[in-house]
Structure formats: C-alpha cells, structure tokens
Amino acid sequence: MARISDLLAAGPTYSVEFFPPKHEAGWLSLGRTISELEHLAPDFVSVTYGAGGSTRTRTADLVSWVRRQTSISPMAHLTCAGHTRDDIRAILTDYRAEGVENILALGGDLPADGETESDYRFSMELVDDVREFGGFSVGVAAHPELHPRSPDRGTDRQHLANKLAAADFAITQFFFDIEHYLVMIDELASLGVTKPVLPGIMPISNLGQITRMAHMSGAEVPGWVIEAMEKAGDNLDAAERIGVDLATELCARLIDEGAPGLHFYALNRSWATREIFRNLGLRPAL
C-alpha cells in the first residue's frame, strides 16, 4: 500500500471513486467493476461515506476489502458531521490496524432527520484531529465553482487554502469547464498554496442525474454540454459515448495544463473510465 502524498510527489496519479452498495447484488457488481479497473493499475481508489456516518460500516468493509484483496491503495472518506471526537478516534484506530494510510477529511451532510451529535463544526477541525492522530496522508475537498454554502469567493478560497496548509492534497468536486479549475489554482497560488489539487472527472451517462448532482454540489452543467448530450436523444449507448468524448477532451486539456492527476467519479461502473484511459493512453487498457 502507499500514501497518496508519496504517490503525488512521484508524479501524476490516476484514481477512481466508489460508493458502498446497499444490497448484495450491488456488492457483486462492484466487485466486478473493481476487478476490471484493477487492470488499469489506478494509483488509489476512494470510498465515500454517507450522511452523518450512515454508511460507516459499509465504507469500512469496502476499504478493508480493497486493502486485503487488491493491489490498489484505498482512501477512506471520513466526515465530521454526526461524529464525536471519540467516534473519530475509534474509526482511525480501526483503519490504522487495517493498514489503511489515506483519509479524505470532509464536512459531510447531516442525516435526513437532522438528529445528530457532533463535536465538529467544520472539516478543518477534522483535518486537525486526523493529523494529531498521526499515520495518515490527509486529503480535503475543493469546489472549483465554490462551495454551495460559501458566503463569497474570497472566503471560499481562503478556507480552502487554510485546509491545504494542514492537509497533503485536495480533490475537487466534478466540473465540466476547465476554466473553473484553472482559475481556482491561480487563486490558491496567490494565497501561497502549492499543494496538489486533483481534478474530479464525472463522465456523463445520464444528463438528468448529473444535473441533479451538480445542483446539490454547487456546480453547473454548461449549455454546450447539455446541447451535446441532447443529440443522443433516447439512445443510452450514444449518450454514454458522448459523455466519454466530453470527459476525454477535458482530461486531455487538464493533462496539458499540468494537473497533478485525474480522479474519476465512476458511479461504481467501469466502462467509461476504461474508455477514457484507452483514449488518453494512460495505462495498457483492456
């Protein structure tokens, strides 16, 4: 296994994000997906964490499975929402015992019922606690189009700069217009930030789904993307191919601009990510 900070120091990384399935069939399908993507030799995979820790056990199970059964380094998402400091210490203790070396420290969403106990207000506090616990490479989230709860641009960028002062790297929310990413990097540089910020890539297969997800995260689906996807009509295969083409073009431009890697939101499927790898010649894709 490897610490992501060390991987990034050695050169560009290519990584994939999964979420823990709710049902047995989903676990079987995800197992096939991970097997298919393992042939691409991703540098690491990340595993998401539900609102208020609602997938805490499933997240740990999936991280443990990746750690034990594959050659890929896993990164566990961890949120401060809905957790006490004792909860966090217990989770980190378990991950350390499992040999997990990477944590993505996030604010997270509250449970739907709003009932929660938490010792944290902001993800920065969680970053500090993970750092104090020791033994982990720590990442944080970045929003190229600003966090939806940020009061203004300056506050958003300063908050991200503060997090990156303590963390090793950041991974962005997905975006479609490269200018959002490039402007964010320039703004962080003006604040003295030199830590790597990995761009998050979401290949589109379902325009309605992506539009809803973008709205929740504060991102925008540009008109030119909508226009391109609408050309597929009701042809799902055509929509997926268009989505891959758009993502490939974005990835190529990011690589040309010197991005420190690419992080794919795969939605527990492998085809789109494999196609992008093949298009860009990133790995000996199958």
Known catalytic residue at 17: yes
Q: Which of 17, 101, 145, 240 is catalytic?
A: 17
Q: What is the distance between the alpha carbons of residues 223 and 228, in angstroms, rounded to a whole number?
A: 9
DSSP 102: E
Rounded to a whole number of angstroms, the CA Rg of the chain reads: 18
Instruction: Number of helices (H) and strands (E) in the chain: give both, helices first.
Output: 11, 8
Three-state DSSP state, 33:
helix
User: 40: which residues sit within 8 A by CB, 6+ positions away?
Assistant: 14, 273, 274, 277, 282, 283, 285, 286
User: 202: which residues sit within 8 A by CB, 6+ positions away?
Assistant: 174, 210, 213, 247, 264, 265
Q: HSE (CB half, 13 Å, CA atoms) of 182?
A: 12
CA angle 243, 280, 248 (to 5 degrees): 20
Q: What is the distance between the alpha carbons of residues 185 and 177, in angstroms, rounded to a whole number?
A: 14
Q: Give residue for tokens 């891959």.
A: 244
In one-letter notation, the amino acid at residue 38 is: E
DSSP 17: E
Catalytic residues: 17
